[in-house]
Structure 1
């Protein structure tokens, strides 16, 4: 329940451009990723898996999918925290709407 509240609070904070929006969203992303890793590692019984890994090719494909998942998560976290567009989005100047006449 607490995790859901933190994630909802993070989404609202990001849309309102609050000061804690970026750290809360990063924490939410890390929580989601850690839950995915826990679910993947706790499914040790083959009946819990979506696909069976019967041969070396299937195991290699699953390993590559895990690597791609970690890489995409790292890129997402990096882009969200350190990109120029993200920094610009959370600055006070970008939240002020200018009207040119």
Structure 2
């Protein structure tokens, strides 16, 4: 259980940083508090077995577009950037812990 909590925390931290960085280089501007809320919601939904990963991506798009009032193309780039770096970070933490 402790290992899963560490992975969840790393995922939330890396995803929040990635969304913040991506929002700085795109036309979407969000406050860090809103970014953290979106990332926590998406991370919680992604923990649902079998369908959580696809539901979390859909939720990520929806919340990001609504909160940032941005174009769908900007949302796609932010989500791709965030999910890619979050996945790499979680894999590195998993490999280091093993």
Same structural fold, with TM-score higher than 0.5 when normalized by the shorter chain: no
TM-score grouping bracket, smaller chain normalisation: 0.3 to 0.5
Q: Which has the larger radius of gyration?
A: 1
Q: Which structure is richer in relative contact order (CA contacts within 8 A, separation 6 or more)?
A: 2
TM-score, length basis structure 1: 0.37
Which structure has the highest helix share of the two? 2
TM-score, length basis structure 2: 0.38
